[in-house]
Amino acid sequence: MGNESNNLEGSRCKRCKKEAKTGLQCVVCNNISHKSCLTSLKNIVYLDEQTINCCSDTNESTVSDCEKIENTEKIENTESNDSVRDKLIISYLERIIRDKETIIDNQKIVINSLTDQIDLLKNAMNITSTAASVAPTKPIYNGESTPSTANKSEKPEYSGVVSKQTVISNKNVAHAVHNANAQLICDSIINLNQTDKVAKSEQAFQHRPRQALRNRNSLLVGSQQNIQECRLRAAATGIINKQHYYHATNFALDATEEELQTHLAKYAPSVQVEKLNCQNPQKSSFKITVAKAECHSIMRNDIWPYGVILYRFFPKKEISDQRD
């Protein structure tokens, strides 16, 4: 009894390898295993509610079964990946085959069209050959039975028709079609040039004055210049009234408008001078107005004092503060 109790106390579970005090006992090895662990073992013979036979050589644990399942799953996954890759490769190859078939169909269409052109050329050649065969065998030359020496020296003109012995290839057909298209394009260009020349020759060029070109919608432009018959006068044109504005700066403080205007009037009689408010208190600035016809007279370095600077004058835009 003491030995059996020692065996029971030192027995370990067949499944979890832990010490088992209660459970089912094997009749062969007297080992106790947990009842819950025995459910995962195979080839267990249940003798009764307390005893079992677990010492069979065919017992295998669930761990090995799980490993087998995992291995089979890995094999299945690799097989599925290989099958997916094979399907992608097959679809890619099928697409390439379809593209090649499309190219082949297009080439067949081109070949058929060229074949039709060859047939047309052959028919034309047959027609010309039959027409030539209908000609008389013994022509009459000016009442003589034999041709003269003058006619013998003449060479027959080239008709441009291919003889029967010549082999017509696709290259010859393409060359003939290209020449025909080029001839059509040249003829159309020549016709266009001729029509343009005719249209231009029919158009009478009419000289229009510059003022009339500006006023395209005007009906007429007056030409009366006798003041005794008509005292009315037209306003001055924009060219005469056009003026240029300049900004002269870097003058001394004692410079005045009268002095500058008297000096510039020697070169431009219509000049007008206006003194400006200069931001720099140590120099003076002036606005100079002169007609366009006289602006070149004052654009000379030798008439201006040394150190004076001349700019084009750009007046600031006035912004009215009046609001409705």
The verdict on pTM exceeding 0.85 is no
Q: What does the pLDDT look like over 181-210, one tens digit per residue?
A: 888 877 777 776 565 555 555 554 455 555
Domain boundaries, the chain: 2-59, 61-90, 241-312
Q: What share of the chain is helix, strand, coil (3-state, %, to 5)?
A: 45, 10, 40
Least-confidence region, from 25-39, 189-203, 295-309: 189-203
DSSP conformation letters of 24-84: EEETTT--EE-HHHHTT-SS-EE-SSSEEE---TT---HHHHHHHHHHHHHHHHHHHHHHH
CATH 3.40.1000 fits 241-312, yes or no: no
| Residues belonging to the chain | 324
How many whole angstroms separate alpha carbon 181 and alpha carbon 1? 121
251 CB-contact burial (10 Å; exposed 0-12 / middle 13-18 / buried 19+): buried
Q: How much is the pLDDT for 59?
A: 44
